[in-house]
Amino acid sequence: MTHQERVFSGVQPTGNLHLGNYLGAITKFVALQESHECLYCVVDLHAITVWQDPKELAGNIREVTAAFIASGIDPKKQIIFNQSQVSGHAELAWVLNCVARMGWLNRMTQFKEKAGKHKENASVGLFTYPNLMAADILLYHATHVPVGEDQKQHLELARDIAQKFNVDFADTIKEAGFEEGIFFPQPEPLIQGPATRVMSLRDGSKKMSKSDPSEMSRITMTDDADTIAKKIRKAKTDPDALPSETDGLKDRPEANNLVGIYAALKGVSKEDVLKDHGGAQFSTFKPALAELAVEKVSPIADEMQKLLNDPAELDAILKDGANRAYTIADPIMKKTKEIVGFIG
């Protein structure tokens, strides 16, 4: 790693943190802290792009914070904070609203999915959500962004916005001392491994999501051992045995999903899982998966509970994280203003 590398990622405090969030994102956050300077953000400004009950939001912010720490992120070594405590996110998002084009945002598939048929009724914030996400990353000149597959398009947009800003303001960027004309570096997405898109346990064609009305569709990070085992036992599958090679998973979305979950929990590839379990029926694979899931998730759930019993301590961690995040963000925000031509 070079010293300029910096990792940023975010998770929305919208409740129901699940195995997709854990395997697709949070485990990656944990791994990167060994080699990189990392900022992990509870993106509360993003959360309110759809209605959040004010009486529940603070609890959900603490839940994500607790999940980060219980999963192994060290809040002393790395920065854990909530987005709304660092005003630069909203400020830079405004500038980027004026850089990004309507046509670019119109292509965002997540907006179309979330707004559904009632686009006219969606909040304006939901539409400009990807600009705020770009601001989150660029505010720290972050270079690497670990996320699940569903965020790929948003990251491509963040790269386009960084590039357009650098081109639009090339002259003042150079005057500000960036001789190569690069003020915002292009962030690299990190989307790797067997669980970048964990699917619903009820329907292998839908991704596991916080908002699925069926509790049985997801394993949450706070589920107890019995609940985890029950959800896996009832997970939808086809009647065939597991194949011995990954090719055999091609048209079997549910089997592919469970093998992917097993692989990610165990920290191995799908090939390795099939070497051990190829030929097995689900009646034997599911209990093995349940055991593994309980072994990995239950200690985190227990630790989260302990942390959540002391909300004041979690709030202090977020405050400290926000102060440290601010010291990185502030000079970058000030330079941005100078480059745009603002006074003061």
| Binding positions for ligand AMP, rule: CB under 6 A | 11-12, 20-21, 24-25, 147-148, 150-151, 196-198, 207-208, 210
Catalytic residue among 152, 164, 174, 210: 210
d(CA 141, CA 156): 16
Pick left, alpha or beta for residue 245 (phi over 0 → left; psi -120 to 50 → alpha; otherwise beta).
Answer: beta
Residue 210 annotated among the catalytic residues of the structure: yes
137 binds, among ligand TRP, ligand AMP, none (CB under 5 to 8 A by kind): ligand TRP
197 binds, among ligand AMP, ligand TRP, none (CB under 5 to 8 A by kind): ligand AMP
Q: 190, 146 in Cβ contact below 8 A?
A: yes
Residue 207 annotated among the catalytic residues of the structure: yes
CB of 199 to ligand AMP, least distance (A): 7
User: Residue 309: CB partners within 8 Å, gap ≥ 6?
Assistant: none
Q: 134, 96 in Cβ contact below 8 A?
A: yes
Residue 337 annotated among the catalytic residues of the structure: no
d(CA 19, CA 8): 20
75 binds, among ligand AMP, ligand TRP, none (CB under 5 to 8 A by kind): none
Q: Which of 26, 137, 208, 294 binds ligand TRP (CB under 6 A)?
A: 137
Q: Length of the chain, please?
A: 344
CA separation (Å) from 311 to 85, 187, 317?
Answer: 17, 33, 10
Tokens read off for 215: 């509790």
8 binds, among ligand TRP, ligand AMP, none (CB under 5 to 8 A by kind): ligand TRP
CB of 204 to ligand TRP, least distance (A): 21
d(CA 263, CA 198): 12
CB of 342 to ligand AMP, least distance (A): 32
Q: Which of 145, 199, 235, 249 binds ligand TRP (CB under 6 A)?
A: 145
| Alpha-carbon dihedral sign for residues 255, 72, 84, 165 | negative
Q: Which residue is nearest to ligand TRP (CB)?
A: 10
CB of 11 to ligand AMP, least distance (A): 4
Binding site for ligand TRP (CB under 6 A): 8-10, 12, 43, 46, 133, 136-137, 145, 147, 151, 154
